[in-house]
Amino acid sequence: MKKVLAIVLSALMVLSLVACNQENNQGGSGNSGGEKGTIALVIHRQDDDWSQSFAQGFEKAVKESGYDYEFLNPNGNLETQISNIESFTAKGVKAMSIIPLDVDAIVPAVKNARDKDIKIISEGPSTDHVMTSDGYGGGQQAAKALVEGMGEKGKIAIIDITATMPGVALRTKGFKEYLEKYPNIEIVEENRVMTTDEAISTAENIYTSHPDLNGVYGSFANATIGAGRAAKNMGLKDLTVVGIDGDKEILRMIDEGWIYATSSQNPIEQSAASVKNLIDQIEGKAEEKSEVVVDHVLVDKNNFKEIWKQIYGEDYK
């Protein structure tokens, strides 16, 4: 029986966080001195606000629960991420949360960890305990905002992610399926990127190749930021840019008018829910299969300051 934990972003306010060091691939430990064991985090990268906030929230939740905390960051390198998982397995941590760069590629490493009774929460086929967000709904929110911003006809482009991440794929699926009811909206180009610099370059090339473009969608933070920055660089105020994620730069560009709207997750709620699931597994309280699903909220010029406060625990600046 699958247990779904839905957490509504807009209903909660997030308290201020204690700042954490943003480690490189050597990672870091924040041992609380507890005797319960270690809960580890293997993230995918740390070059965006979501990832940094997720790691901060995860560490806070682990320490408050009396467990030791360790962390490794592969900086977007898949082979390094697999090595990170293997390293924590060799250390004998109690549990591990993994944000995979490729859900299929990590399967052998995760299977080895599970064979050693290490509790796992991740995405994809490697685990019975899944942490994700309502990516499909988020994509639909972004598509609805796009239509509101540019109208029911026009030409658009999609900037997607290079990595194999089911949650991100669901966002784009939701986005495209929402637009099926608008036959006069045409997707003229689709590209994949990983970094913000790649996204900026790709977006600028798209805008140059399609001077009559009306809108663009970014499926994750770097794509959304890149699309917004490219529009700003080229002075394209009439272009409707929408995307996913609530990074500070995205919210600032909503304020400035370069991004029309974004569908945001709350990394603090996601990390806290992930830690709770891992502890439930350790203590034998979890269902055989479970899924932590966090809802998205649409952010636009009407509520970006409120969402900033919810995610970052401080006033907009």
Q: Provide the residue-wise pLDDT of the chain in tens; the chain has 317 residues.
A: 444 433 333 333 333 333 333 333 445 544 433 589 999 999 998 888 888 999 999 999 999 999 999 999 999 899 999 999 999 999 999 999 999 998 889 999 999 999 999 999 997 677 899 988 899 999 999 999 999 999 999 999 999 999 888 889 999 999 999 999 999 999 999 999 999 999 999 999 999 999 999 999 999 999 999 999 999 999 999 999 999 999 999 999 999 999 999 999 888 889 999 999 999 999 999 999 998 888 999 999 999 999 999 888 899 98
Return phi, psi of residue 119, to 5°: -80, 140
User: Contact 38/63 with Cβ under 8 angstroms?
Assistant: no
* Pairwise CA distance, residues 107 & 158, whole Å: 29
| DSSP code of residue 43 | -
* Pairwise CA distance, residues 58 & 142, whole Å: 27
∠ CA 287-292-298, nearest 5°, is 160
* Pairwise CA distance, residues 81 & 205, whole Å: 31
Kind of pairing between the strands at 261-264 and 185-193: unpaired
- Token digits for 220? 């994750």
Rg (CA), the chain: 19
The whole-model pTM stands at: 0.79
List Cα–Cα distances, 207 to 25, 41, 72, 192, in angstroms.
35, 38, 37, 15
